[in-house]
Structure formats: structure tokens, C-alpha cells
Structure 1
Amino acid sequence: MTGQNVDTRDAPTRRDYVKYGGTVIGGGLLAGCSDFVGQNESPAETNEGSYSVTMAPAGEITLERPPENVFANLVHHADMALALGHGESINTMYSPENFGALYELFLERLAGVSTDWADLPNSWNIDKEQLYELNSDLHLADPAYMTVMDSLDRDDIEEIGENVAPWFGNAYSDSRREPPAAWADDYEYYTLWEIFEKVAAVFREEQRYQELTEVRTNLLAEIEANLPPETDRPRVARIQTALSDGELSIWPFALNDPGYEQAHLRPLGAEDAFADADAYSEIALEALVEVDPDVILNTHAMGPTREFVEIKDYLENDPVARAIPAVENGRVYPMAIRYGGPIAHLFQLEMGAKELYPDAFGEWPRYDGGAYPEFPESEQLFDRQRVAAIIDGEI
């Protein structure tokens, strides 16, 4: 720990304008969650100047005003703050040198929108003393997920929530994974846009949320209206890869399963070549050959430390990999991130539509690194100017 020492046992309770409510939502899955709709009820209730927002697993939090100094862990939460015009409030995030720089590749296409995330402290394995030092107004992170780190347990989470600021976030909805057992009774699963709606209520940015929802709704409608018949859709392998000492490591991931991690892929309606595979389990190259994909989507392939060009060259020059239709036909494409928020979601919906269905949505160009490609306005599937104006508060 750097800076002054903090006696966490005697630290004063921070309640000047952020208060933590004790109500906890009960367990159980949300039935019938849809990528196309949000909650029917408003997530925020106002009473005498304060307002409350509820989301599992943290439960209900009560605030006096929107937070200005925000701890974030996973990037989908930071993305939401940015989309709502509060990107500058983020004081830390997971792997900022990667994800902060990655978001700049998107934001080059949103005039006037930028971040300084790349130089933020890394929130992974952050300890309790550092959380006291940050003195955040809000911890925009899943408290259950924070306890998988070596540095924090549930007692630490509850102490920070009481003495510094509340926790508010949801991570295990990414693929509807099981949360830690201690949190199972308090957990619910949400779509990406349901989480976004609740975060918008925390920042009191319901109007920006509604405007971005309209952009997304129009994009989804454009995609749905122009998808080819199911019989003409490709068989797709979604993988993550790494090159080390000339050896390629491959991990398959679901394409259409529930969860916000697949929110930019499910609407594309393609066949999942790895529908029966175990996520996070490494496979051999021969297993990729066996599923015979028409298209390969290489996730986490955009960004300053990624090796997409080298990996694509490896596949095209390997005598085994060359037998894969996707490799033979030049249909190995990058995807940017597995669990981005609303900004990444819009770009990756467009990216995936162009990569899978070039005849319907225009071709994705060869990508050799750098910023998200610049398309003529007639080939854009969503309005960049409108999105930038919403984020900047011009609409």
C-alpha cells in the first residue's frame, strides 16, 4: 500500500452523500429475458431528494446524487458509464492498458468521445487498503465477483460497502455462470441492456439510456430484416487464441447461449460449430478442423497487444488448418471483446453482421490492426454521429 496507512477497523463511515441500503433481492432467474426489451418497471425510486436503485447481488443502494468518483472492475460496467457521459468518473478498471487502449479503437469513430482509461490503476486483485485510498463514491462492480480475487473476501466487501461506498454491478450474467456459493441465494441474471438500464438510473441518465436504446433497437431491426434464410447461414466457430513459441492455443466459446457475453452474436442467428463444447477448455487444432466451420471469429483479436495478423497467417500456412473451409476461403475474422458494454455492443453487432453476411450488410475489410475500420455513411449500420452526440449530451 502506498500513501497514508488506514486503520480499517476504526475508519469513519462515509455517508455524506452515498448511502448503502440493506435490502437484498432474493435468488432465482429472470424468466423470459430478451435482448430486445428492458425492465417494465423503473429501476429508480425517488424520495425527498434521494433515490434508490436495485440490482442483484448487491440489492438496493440509495444515493443523494450521481457518483463522480467510480471504481470499476470489468469493462462492461466502465463502458456503461462512458456511454452515459460519465467516462471520466472511472478511477480504476481491469487491465486498463489493454481495455482502455481497445476502447480508443472504437472511439476514433465517435467524434469528440474519448477516455483516459489506459493509464488507470488495475482493479484486479486490488486490496482493501487501496479501496479505502480511492475513496470512491460508488463501486461499479459485482461484489460476488470481487471475492474470487485473492485479496478480498465477503467480510472485506461488506466493510468497504459500509465504510466507503456501495457496490453495484453484475458479472455472472455474462454466460449465466454459477456465482460463488455464498452469493447464490442473492443472485439474479440480467441481459446487458437490463444492467445498463440500472446503471443509467444510478447516474440519473435515463434520457441517454433511452436514446441509445433507440439506436440499438433500430440496429437490431435492420439486422433481423436482412438476415438470409437459416439454410443459407454459416457454421461459425467462435474462439480465443494465443501464440507462444510457434504453438497455437485455442479456446472455444459459445455463440448463441444466454448471457450478455453473446449479446452481439445471438441476433446474427448463425449456427454454432462449438455448441457442445466446454467453454474455457483448451482444444487442439484438430478439434477446430473437425467442427468444419465456414467462418472463424477470433475474439479478443483487436487491441494493442493482440496478434490477429500472426494468428491468421499461422492458420493459413499450417497444413492441417488449411483444410478448414473458413481458412481456405479467407473467412477468419477478428472480434474485439467478449464482454463489452453498450458501445462495444453496437460496434460488434455491426462487425459481426458484416463478417457473417457480407452480401446483406457489406463486407468487413481486411484488418491488420489499428482502429475500428471507417465505413462510408451508406455502409454504416448505426449512426455514429447520433451515438457521439448522445454521449456528449448534445441530444
Structure 2
Amino acid sequence: MPERPTRRDVIKYGGIAGGAGLLAGCTGGTTPDSAEGTATETPREATTTEPDAAAEAGYSVTMSPVGTVEFEEPPETVFTRLTHHADMAFALGKGDGINAMHAPDYYDSLWNQFVERLPGVTLDWTGLYSSWQAEKEQLYELDSDIHLADPAWVTQLDNWDRSAIEEVAENVGPWFGNSLSDRHQEPSAEWAEGYEYYGLWEQFGLVADAFRERERYEALAAVHNDLLETIEDGLPPESERPSAVMFSSADLETIYAYTLSTPGFLTAHTRPLAPRDAFEGSVESGSTVDFEALLEADPDVVLYLGGMLPTTDMATVRETLASNPVAGEMTAVAEGRVHAQGARYQGPILNLFQLEMTAKQLYPERFGAWPDYENGPYPELPTEERLFDRQRVADIVNGDG
């Protein structure tokens, strides 16, 4: 393998050569399931040195399952695997440093549907290395300062094991990511001890600390907290909330249903809104269902995952459902409440938009009606109907506020 450039000597794992403590993971409790449903979520702080400390002291940040990672300067080039991590780096102004992600062209087209509404902000993920089935040799080629990916997930791939993870950490750059918090998945036995689950914004805070971007993080977290407070203040009593389902389908024949309130950051935009589960807990997230099962659940609102993709026409989706003799009988279809959704593996930027859009889709009488969206970028809502300040978010991402 190639020798490491000098810069890699200053971004490394704490104790990477010590053996016994290698990637041992953190100890302690887990994040409460309701953490992202309250406006008072307080992310854990990084362990850092004072700014005027000796250069060799650097700073350190701790995240499960990798444990404590030591840095002497912020990372510049960034490997990611899933979009919640790519969105975090982008939100911190590090978008140009991203060199890999899952399905880059697909997610570039989806994220730009939302980024279109952030004045002066640009995002370009096209042509990056597609890292879903990451190859170790390619990670050497990319030469990333940091790998925003969960090693406990990466080792589920056939071509990765613990020794390969440690090799890349020592010779290329540290791993620093957590993905099994998506729906509180159980890690494999070798990672199980001390594995912690984080809320989306809690993990974002730790990633911000790794990049020394605490100020930018706190500014975005303030926008998020204000949005959550607006939602909490406007929610109707539980008895008045609609029932809802979220599903995705490439052909409206094979249908995958997803839960809306279970723990994990996949529901970070629906759990705070607390709609009633039309399936009443009888369907596990990611299960396939048919139209008969959907009609039996009879949701008041359908959230159509992938509906914000440029290749999706929501008018066609609605027409297809309405023309089906079974699906057309659903209350949501009959009353015109089939709405587009974006992505579940959301980072902070997508989370802000999806909280706003889903609040309007579920509770139009409380938060303003969601436009009759068919396709194209996120609708340009009138200023008085927006639930968060686009210009403020844009300024933070661009480093201007």
C-alpha cells in the first residue's frame, strides 16, 4: 500500500496502535427515543483542547462505535457512504470536500430539489465514487482525511472485516460515523458492546466537532429548535390527528411500507409530528404490503417516499392510485391527500425541509396548506407561510452567518 502523506500524520485514531482500545466503542446509555421530538435536545460536547494549546495536543471527539478520535487539524477531504453523513458535511460547508457517497447522481438530483430554495447555495455530488459496496483499494486511492461511515455497518459487507477497518483507519484516515441509529438496528456481536444510538441532530453535533464547526452547528440547531417549537405549539390534540402511512414503490405494484414514529433518525421528520399509525403497529418498517392491506388500514394521509425525485410525477402517481379499484377506495386517495416525500436517510438540511413539508401535509389547518405539488423543485412558498428562514440557513451553510 502507498505511504501516507504528511497530512495524515495529524488526523488519526486515539490509541490506534495500542491494540486493546482499538475501536472499542463508547460506554454509557443510549439516546432517549423521543430526543428528536423535543426542542431541548442537547448534543454531547466534544472533548477538545483550548485553541491556544500546543499544536501537538490537537483535539479529540468521541462517537460510538469508533470511540475517541484525535485530530490536530480539521479534515478537508470526506468519504461518506450514506446521505445523512453527506448532508452533515454539506451543511457544515464541507460539500466540496466530499469524494464518495451512495448513488451520487441519484441523490444529487434529489437533494437539489430542496437546495434550490436556499439562496446562493450550490450542491454537486455528480460523478463521485459510489460507495455502497466500497472497496478498500479505492479508499486508499481517495486518500480521505475522514471516513464519515459506520464501521459496524461497513463490516457487514463481504469484503470488509475488523482488520480492514483498522488498516484504513491507521493508514488513510479515521472512521467517524454512526448509521445503525437509523432505526436502532442491532449491531453484530463484535460491535455490540457499548454501541450507542444517537438522534440525528445529536450525531450532527459530534460531526461538527470533528470539523471544528461548533458555531455553524449551533446556528443550524437553533433554526431546528425553533421549527420544533413551532410544530409542538401547533399540534392538535391526539384525538384530532390524522392516520397516515408512508410507502415507496417503483411501479405501484410492489409496495414497501415504513413506520412513522419508531426510534431512529429515519423518522426524524415524522416522529415530532405524531400522526396516528394507520397500521396500528401491525406492519414493520420496510415490509411489503398490497393495496388490500392499505385499504384495510385506510389512512387519512399517504406520504409517498421518492415523490420529490425529478423523475417522479405525483399527478401520475395519484391517477394510478385513483384508477385502481382497491387503492381508489382509500380515504387519502379519495380526498386528495397523497403527498410527495424526499428521503429517509436525511441530514440536517433535508430534515428542516421535510419537517416543514410534512407538517403542512398532515396538518394544513395548523401550519398552512401544502401546494398541489406534481413535480419539480420544492415549492416556493410565500415568506409568511414558511416555517423556517431559508436565507438564514443559506447564510450558515455558506459561512456568512
Q: What range is the shorter-chain TM-score in?
A: over 0.9
Does the alignment pair 1:18 with 2:21? Answer: no
Offset of residue 304 of structure 1: 3.0
The residue correspondences of 1:4-15 to structure 2 (distance < 5 A) are 7=1, 11-12=3-4, 15=8
Does the alignment pair 1:224 with 2:224? Answer: no
Offset of residue 213 of structure 1: 0.9
Deviations, residues 86-109 of structure 1 (Å, cap 9, x unaligned): 111111101111111111111110
Deviations, residues 36-71 of structure 1 (Å, cap 9, x unaligned): 344465223226331100000111111111111110
What is the aligned partner in structure 2 of residue 161 from structure 1?
169
Offset of residue 371 of structure 1: 0.6
Cα distance in 2 for residues equivalent to 1:204 and 1:12? 23
Match of 1:383 among 386, 389, 395: 389
Amino acid in structure 2 at the alignment position of 1:239: F
Cα distance in 2 for residues equivalent to 1:18 and 1:358? 48
What is the aligned partner in structure 2 of residue 4 from structure 1?
none
Give me the CA root mean square deviation: 1.7
Cα distance in 2 for residues equivalent to 1:191 and 1:45? 22
What is the aligned partner in structure 1 of residue 30 from structure 2?
30
Does the C-alpha gap of structure 1 residues 56 and 91 become closer, same or farther in structure 2, counting only changes over 3 Å? same
Offset of residue 13 of structure 1: 8.5
What is the aligned partner in structure 2 of residue 214 from structure 1?
222
Does the C-alpha gap of structure 1 residues 291 and 183 become closer, same or farther in structure 2, counting only changes over 3 Å? same
What is the aligned partner in structure 1 of residue 259 from structure 2?
254
Name structure 1 gaps, 5 residues minimum: 1-6
Cα distance in 2 for residues equivalent to 1:201 and 1:316? 49
What is the aligned partner in structure 2 of residue 149 from structure 1?
157
Cα distance in 1 for residues equivalent to 2:228 and 2:139? 39
Check whether the contact 2:12–2:69 (CA below 8 A) recurs between aligned residues. yes
Does the alignment pair 1:272 with 2:277? Answer: yes
What is the aligned partner in structure 2 of residue 287 from structure 1?
293
Does the alignment pair 1:201 with 2:209? Answer: yes
Cα distance in 2 for residues equivalent to 1:240 and 1:358? 23
SS in 1 for 2:239: helix
Amino acid in structure 2 at the alignment position of 1:21: G
| Greater alpha carbon shift after TM alignment, 274-283 vs 156-165 | 274-283
SS in 2 for 1:220: helix
Cα distance in 1 for residues equivalent to 2:253 and 2:241? 28
Check whether the contact 1:292–1:324 (CA below 8 A) recurs between aligned residues. yes
SS in 2 for 1:248: coil
Cα distance in 2 for residues equivalent to 1:334 and 1:119? 26
What is the aligned partner in structure 2 of residue 83 from structure 1?
91
What is the aligned partner in structure 1 of residue 18 from structure 2?
none
Cα distance in 2 for residues equivalent to 1:332 and 1:58? 41
Taking only the aligned residue pairs, the percentage that are identical comes to 48
Offset of residue 309 of structure 1: 3.8
The residue correspondences of 1:105-144 to structure 2 (distance < 5 A) are 105-144=113-152
Check whether the contact 1:124–1:149 (CA below 8 A) recurs between aligned residues. no
Does the alignment pair 1:53 with 2:26? Answer: no
Match of 1:300 among 297, 302, 306: 306
What is the aligned partner in structure 2 of residue 324 from structure 1?
330
Does the alignment pair 1:44 with 2:76? Answer: no
The residue correspondences of 1:229-244 to structure 2 (distance < 5 A) are 229-243=237-251
Amino acid in structure 1 at the alignment position of 2:366: A
Cα distance in 1 for residues equivalent to 2:78 and 2:262? 31
What is the aligned partner in structure 2 of residue 3 from structure 1?
none
Does the C-alpha gap of structure 1 residues 391 and 13 become closer, same or farther in structure 2, counting only changes over 3 Å? closer
Amino acid in structure 2 at the alignment position of 1:189: Y
SS in 1 for 2:336: coil
What is the aligned partner in structure 2 of residue 314 from structure 1?
320
Amino acid in structure 1 at the alignment position of 2:278: A
Amino acid in structure 2 at the alignment position of 1:271: R
Check whether the contact 1:57–1:187 (CA below 8 A) recurs between aligned residues. yes
Offset of residue 25 of structure 1: 3.1
Check whether the contact 1:27–1:184 (CA below 8 A) recurs between aligned residues. no
| Greater alpha carbon shift after TM alignment, 292-301 vs 27-36 | 27-36
Offset of residue 180 of structure 1: 2.3
Cα distance in 2 for residues equivalent to 1:31 and 1:211? 22
Check whether the contact 2:43–2:201 (CA below 8 A) recurs between aligned residues. no
The residue correspondences of 1:170-189 to structure 2 (distance < 5 A) are 170-189=178-197
Deviations, residues 85-142 of structure 1 (Å, cap 9, x unaligned): 1111111101111111111111110011111102212011121110000000000111
Check whether the contact 1:91–1:121 (CA below 8 A) recurs between aligned residues. yes
Does the C-alpha gap of structure 1 residues 313 and 186 become closer, same or farther in structure 2, counting only changes over 3 Å? same
Does the C-alpha gap of structure 1 residues 298 and 55 become closer, same or farther in structure 2, counting only changes over 3 Å? same
SS in 2 for 1:297: strand
Cα distance in 1 for residues equivalent to 2:340 and 2:77? 34
Deviations, residues 161-181 of structure 1 (Å, cap 9, x unaligned): 111000000001011111223
Does the C-alpha gap of structure 1 residues 28 and 311 become closer, same or farther in structure 2, counting only changes over 3 Å? farther
Offset of residue 77 of structure 1: 0.6
| Greater alpha carbon shift after TM alignment, 375-384 vs 98-107 | 98-107
Name structure 2 gaps, 5 residues minimum: 16-20
Check whether the contact 1:29–1:188 (CA below 8 A) recurs between aligned residues. yes
Cα distance in 2 for residues equivalent to 1:117 and 1:181? 34
Cα distance in 2 for residues equivalent to 1:131 and 1:240? 32
SS in 1 for 2:232: helix
